[in-house]
């Protein structure tokens, strides 16, 4: 009996060791990836993508607050002119003025509401006409306007889901389709899609939102395979 208990204890110890090593390797990979993408380019070792060599302009959707605003200012700080795309014109002008004042770069603003669907993209194309675009940040997104609840309890599900699909899914596809051709023609460019943990794991009480965020990761992976071997960068 004692030998069996010792054997079982050894097996559990080995299993625990394997699990611990796996988690350590995973953490090390994420830290290494973060260092390569965010750290080394800052110290000028030439191991990251040179953003200014991708093109003169960056385009950021949902650019007047949160992550989008931070991207817009950081890209301007790194030497790119910025197109800000959002629905609130007063906020767009305010951020454009701040970027020009703080970073000395050119700006353009495009006012559209991404929940409105396909008809807005003619306005977007006109606003981007003639620009050498090297960076696209697909950031815009909308979350449910109600508190988290079970899927079967969501009221007016058609309108809520349509708005989220238009803003979270269609925006990324259409913005990429507008800008990607010129990047492919030049053989350079970077596309960044802002996703969510809701798109990487089950999202109880946020099922519709999670479904729209899955699209980002899946579409990005497909784009990467389609452009494999090119100089395109996609994150």
Q: For 45-61, b where at least 16 C-beta lie within 10 A, e where not — what string?
A: eeebbebeebbebbbbb
Continuous segment of H or E residues that includes residue 65:
none
Catalytic residue flag (residue 209):
yes
CA atoms within 13 A on the CB side of 31: 6
Judged against a pLDDT cut of 80, whether residue 202 lies above it is answered with: no
How far is 50 from 70, CA to CA, in rounded Å?
Answer: 19
Q: Which residue is catalytic, options 71, 121, 209, 223? A: 209
pLDDT for 159: 76
Model's pTM, two decimal places?
0.74
Judged against a pLDDT cut of 50, whether residue 40 lies above it is answered with: no
Mean pLDDT of 176-182: 94
């Amino acid at each position: 009996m004692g030998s069996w208990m010792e054997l079982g204890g050894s097996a559990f110890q080995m299993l625990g060791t394997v699990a611990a090593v796996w988690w350590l390797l995973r953490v090390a990979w994420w830290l290494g990836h973060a260092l390569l993408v965010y750290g080394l380019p800052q110290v000028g070792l030439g191991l990251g993508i040179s953003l200014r060599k991708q093109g003169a302009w960056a385009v950021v959707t949902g650019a007047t607050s949160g992550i989008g605003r931070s991207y817009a200012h950081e890209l301007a700080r790194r030497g790119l002119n910025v197109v800000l795309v959002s629905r609130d014109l007063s906020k767009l002008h305010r951020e454009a003025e701040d970027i020009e004042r703080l970073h000395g770069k050119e700006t353009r603003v495009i006012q559209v509401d991404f929940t409105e669907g396909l008809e807005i993209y003619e306005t977007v194309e006109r606003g981007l006409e003639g620009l050498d675009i090297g960076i696209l940040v697909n950031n815009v997104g909308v979350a449910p306007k109600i508190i988290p609840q079970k899927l079967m309890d969501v009221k007016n599900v058609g309108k809520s889901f349509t708005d989220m699909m238009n803003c979270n899914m269609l925006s990324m596809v259409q913005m990429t389709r507008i800008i990607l051709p010129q990047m492919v023609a030049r053989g350079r460019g970077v596309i960044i899609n802002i996703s969510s943990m809701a798109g990487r794991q089950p999202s109880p009480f946020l099922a519709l939102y999670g479904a729209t965020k899955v699209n980002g990761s899946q579409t990005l992976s497909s784009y990467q395979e389609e452009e494999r071997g090119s100089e395109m960068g996609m994150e």
